[in-house]
Structure 1
Amino acid sequence: MMHKLKVRANHTVYIIFAVLSLFSLTLIFNDNIWFDEAYTLSLIQHNYSDIINILKSDMHPPLYFLSLKTFCCIFGYSITATKIFSAIGYIATLFLGCTIIKKHYGSKTSIIYMLTVGAVPMMLYFSVQQRSYSWSIFFVTLCFIESLLFIANKKFHHCILFAIAGLGAAYNHIYALLAVAIIFAFANIYLLIKDRNLFKRIIIADLIMVAGYSFWIIPLLNQTKSASSNFWLSGVEPLSVIVFISGIAVSALVLMKKSNRKLCIIFADVCVMGIQIIGLFVTVFIRPFYIARYSVVILGIFAILVAFGVKDIKPKPSKVICTLLCVVNIGCLVATGLFEYNPSMTNFRERFSSQQSESDTFVYCDSAFGIMSYYYPNNTHLCTYKENWFEAFENVECINKNEIADKVDPNHKIWFVKNELTKMPKCIKSNFKYKKIDSFQCDFNKFDLYLLILK
């Protein structure tokens, strides 16, 4: 009887993995992008050395972009290909559940872990976004698991994998670097207090991490210095506070049970809450530098926290929790699918095709240029402000806003595109007559299209 239950549980693990993987893959067949994704798509068109040089002036480590470029060199440069690459990172995170977690912590823990990964709001959204989040989640989760196994099993290969995964995370996203720093700090302090012999081994992981990341230390310091003065965020994001409060609530529920107050759960809780506490502290007391989506890098650890917290409860409540998680997963798929396949941009482009030609000029005063320059690459695109990392967009010319009237060709149509939240700039009002022609939505942003005529 026990053997049959074990076989059934094993089958369930792989079924859940396959179904949740398929959920993500169903979301790749659309061409809706937002500014950050347009940046990714434009950046990877450059050669490898140019990508690194451009990223040095931005706030991104290079691993994701270099890996994505290599992937696209093999499978082609398209929105679908880049979404697939992100989906693979999400699937790899799920795969940790039916491999390492299942092997060391059992099928039940594996099932709850995977269901929680899929049930976290926005997780499916990040699984196909053309950014480094899905791969950051994978590397941070693997780093945490290997550090936990190293502490528990004392095997040297876990120490090496711990360091390698940490480097993978650190070279993917700056907040993944922070998450890894928390993991390394906790592991070092714990072993220094509890197991001095094992502490000698973890020094090797520390050295691998420091030596491996030394190539990006100077760019990181320069990026941090630059961001301290001109980072785009202006205050505390309300959603980050909501996420923080939700994290406290889940942690409290898990730790309420005395049997859950053990190393693996406390370790996971420190990682989940630590990155949010540090991010919010810096934002409140030093400089706004943290928003809720940056915390997604620890979503895999959050899923482990939940899995460890509920794996030992009685069978009936456990089944209820798993059923609820399955329902939430389906709900997330439906909600994300409706969002990803929003026809607004497609319908706009169909309407606009009869009015637009390649001789037209597009003018911008905000990040709308990233989206439009991708969809209309052969047009002239003029942006009235500049950042160093705009070099990623080869077909966009940054100009002085006072020179805009001299840069446009009055013999062809002039279009002005802006985010609906952006006020109409004075340089447009003073130089042009303008008429709103259309509007459309891309991702979470809505944009207005105006036809400009020189006064």
Structure 2
Amino acid sequence: MNMANDENKKYSILLYGLFFIGSFLFLSLDFYKAFWYDEAYTINLVRQSFGYLWHVTANDVHPPLYYILLKLYTYFFGDSVVALRIFSALPVIGVMLLGCTRIRKMFGDKTALSFLVIIILMPVSQYAASEIRMYSLAMLFVLLSALYAYKSYSTFRRSDLIKFTLFSLAAAYTHYYALLGVFYIYFLFLIVIIIAKRSKITPFIGYSVLFVIGYLPWLINLPGQVSQVQDEYWIDAPRLKDFIIYLYYPFARELDLMATATPLAHFAFSFFLLAVFGILFIYVVVSARKETFADTYSNAKIKYANLLFLAFLLTLSTAITYSFLSKPVFVTRYMNPILGLFYLGIAIYISSIDWKKTQNKIVLLLMFLIIAYFSFNHYSLQYRTNQYNERVQSKIIEFAKERVDDKTAFLYSDTRSFSIAAIPLFFPDSKHYIRIRATQKYYKKYLENFKAIPIFDFGDVDTTYTKMLVVKNIDNDDSFMKVSADSIEVIKYFDIIDRQDIEGHVVYQLRRKNLNK
């Protein structure tokens, strides 16, 4: 008995020690103030009223729960960039806490330990914990849905089924890929019940109906959002090389993947390590199946891990297949809501092999060293990138502040540029114009969140504004814009009187021509 207590205390110290280390790691990434387009969208949105927030999200391509919870959070902790980043770290910390508590209770000390190490070391966890978006919250809710699906199957207690339903609804209201992940959790739950517990199908269907009823209030917005995606969504069609990137992403440095022009050869060493990790994990899978074959409890864990992998793969394959056959709707970061399933599946398999065997110790050490290599690379890259972004953003704002006055407006030509997202947050009292090239009815609604006025010609700018400021990504030459139609059009109305290169961006100051001469 004492040996069991000593073992339990040892794991408790180890698990909660990792929990505090992981919490410090994730929070340490949140103390920088630069932000990119999607983050600026979130920042601006949560600074508006609840009514406005609901109106805009109904015309967005994401459900509203994340924005609602973040808005409530700002009443207590403010809406600074750092405070909003910390909100994204909290769900990842919650995932780790699940590892120390619920996962430990359900699957044992070794699974909990493996899960915590994976969550802490995986680079994507760092990304999700520092970006002002809904991905970490979606991951937490999908993981809770999967855990309570397992618990509900084991007990069919009302309390467990209610928790399963509520966490599934929370996931569905946070991100559509979380909704898709939850759909496959329900689907696989149904299949398992039909095979093994057919007598329990009635309560399952009853609570499934409750889930559908709970999601009905948002379903009225879904057709419009689907139409928006079909008409004007920004995602490019997947390429064959993207399949390699999809495999790499859970272990990836997000910023590398954003640089789509970078040749895959640049990541050759990373892909090699990933292949080694895959081979080692295959060894773990084979060993775990052999070692747990006669153990009912361990065998049940392995079956659950298989279902987690299956839910993960079905969600991905559905999104990727739809992107190929119909409309591109998948980018790698949309994988985040379901990554908790993938990581827990790996942890269960790792915990199921004999850790005392020398060859298993070597295999596990190599696997965690590979993940640690990816983790360190991402952390160092993220730190350098954060410093660069803060420096550039500061210089851009300084340039604008020195030149803006009541006769100056801001002008944009790209609906998804850094400038249209960030600049209005720093200059909320200035006029902001966005030049759009088509009707783009959904983009016009989308732009309401940035208080940008859509125009179809640069001549539509209010003539009381004699000066304009423009921020854009760096040009290949000294022209105003890469789009020739814009270049011709803008010089019809404005002269370039100042131009400054700022480490990858160009800031222009324009002056209105006197067309009456």
* Alpha-carbon distance in 1 for matches of 2:34, 2:155: 46
- Which residue, 42, 54, 57 being the options, matches 2:56? 54
Residue by residue, what CA displacement relative to the aligned partner does 1:147-170 show, whole Å, maximum 9, x if unpaired?
122223443322211111100000
The DSSP-based 3-state class of the residue aligned with 2:35 is coil
Structure 1 pair 155–377 and aligned structure 2 pair: CA distance change class (3 A): same
The DSSP-based 3-state class of the residue aligned with 2:433 is strand
* Alpha-carbon distance in 1 for matches of 2:383, 2:510: 36
* Alpha-carbon distance in 2 for matches of 1:78, 1:50: 20
Structure 1 pair 417–346 and aligned structure 2 pair: CA distance change class (3 A): closer
1:175-254 correspondence runs (5 A): 175-236=177-238, 240-246=242-248, 250=278
- Which residue, 404, 426, 429 being the options, matches 2:488? 429
Alignment gaps of 5+ in structure 1: none
* Alpha-carbon distance in 2 for matches of 1:379, 1:238: 45
- Which residue, 269, 282, 290 being the options, matches 2:309? 269
The DSSP-based 3-state class of the residue aligned with 1:183 is helix
Offset at residue 290 of structure 1 (A): 0.8
Residue by residue, what CA displacement relative to the aligned partner does 1:249-306 show, whole Å, maximum 9, x if unpaired?
7585664443488421211111221121011100000111111110111111111011
> Is the aligned partner of 1:388 residue 2:445?
yes
| Partner residue in 2 for 1:415 | 469
Aligned residues: 448
Residue by residue, what CA displacement relative to the aligned partner does 1:388-441 show, whole Å, maximum 9, x if unpaired?
1222123x222222534x435464x32222234772452343332336723457
The DSSP-based 3-state class of the residue aligned with 2:510 is strand
- Give TM-score, length-normalised by structure 2: 0.80
* Alpha-carbon distance in 2 for matches of 1:116, 1:377: 42
- Which residue, 311, 315, 319 being the options, matches 1:279? 319
- Which residue, 384, 400, 404 being the options, matches 1:338? 384
- Which residue, 428, 438, 453 being the options, matches 2:500? 438
* Alpha-carbon distance in 1 for matches of 2:411, 2:195: 61
Offset at residue 346 of structure 1 (A): 4.2
Structure 1 pair 375–330 and aligned structure 2 pair: CA distance change class (3 A): same
Amino acid at match of 2:108: G
* Alpha-carbon distance in 2 for matches of 1:23, 1:253: 31
Offset at residue 321 of structure 1 (A): 4.1
- Which residue, 6, 9, 27 being the options, matches 2:29? 27
Contact kept, 8 Å, 1:414 with 1:451, in 2: the verdict is: yes
Offset at residue 230 of structure 1 (A): 1.5
- Give TM-score, length-normalised by structure 1: 0.90
| Partner residue in 2 for 1:401 | 457
* Alpha-carbon distance in 2 for matches of 1:25, 1:387: 36
* Alpha-carbon distance in 2 for matches of 1:435, 1:118: 50
Contact kept, 8 Å, 2:397 with 2:426, in 1: the verdict is: no
- Which residue, 16, 19, 39 being the options, matches 1:17? 19
Alignment gaps of 5+ in structure 2: 251-273, 293-298, 356-360, 437-442, 476-480
Amino acid at match of 1:220: L
Contact kept, 8 Å, 1:269 with 1:305, in 2: the verdict is: yes
Offset at residue 49 of structure 1 (A): 1.9
- Which residue, 408, 422, 425 being the options, matches 1:371? 422
Offset at residue 172 of structure 1 (A): 0.4
Structure 1 pair 286–240 and aligned structure 2 pair: CA distance change class (3 A): same
Residue by residue, what CA displacement relative to the aligned partner does 1:363-384 show, whole Å, maximum 9, x if unpaired?
1011231121122223221111
Structure 1 pair 345–420 and aligned structure 2 pair: CA distance change class (3 A): same
Residue by residue, what CA displacement relative to the aligned partner does 1:310-362 show, whole Å, maximum 9, x if unpaired?
11223224455455545554444333333333333344146516632243221
* Alpha-carbon distance in 1 for matches of 2:93, 2:209: 30
The DSSP-based 3-state class of the residue aligned with 1:97 is helix
Q: Percent identity?
A: 23
> Is the aligned partner of 1:362 residue 2:410?
yes
Structure 1 pair 410–163 and aligned structure 2 pair: CA distance change class (3 A): closer
Structure 1 pair 237–111 and aligned structure 2 pair: CA distance change class (3 A): farther
The DSSP-based 3-state class of the residue aligned with 1:138 is helix
| Partner residue in 1 for 2:508 | 450
Offset at residue 239 of structure 1 (A): 7.2
Contact kept, 8 Å, 1:37 with 1:129, in 2: the verdict is: yes
Offset at residue 57 of structure 1 (A): 1.2
Contact kept, 8 Å, 1:136 with 1:169, in 2: the verdict is: yes
- Kindly name which structure, 1 or 2, has the bigger radius of gyration based on alpha carbons: 2
Amino acid at match of 1:13: L
1:92-171 correspondence runs (5 A): 92-171=94-173
Structure 1 pair 298–243 and aligned structure 2 pair: CA distance change class (3 A): farther
* Alpha-carbon distance in 1 for matches of 2:45, 2:283: 44
Contact kept, 8 Å, 1:365 with 1:425, in 2: the verdict is: no
* Alpha-carbon distance in 2 for matches of 1:239, 1:339: 25
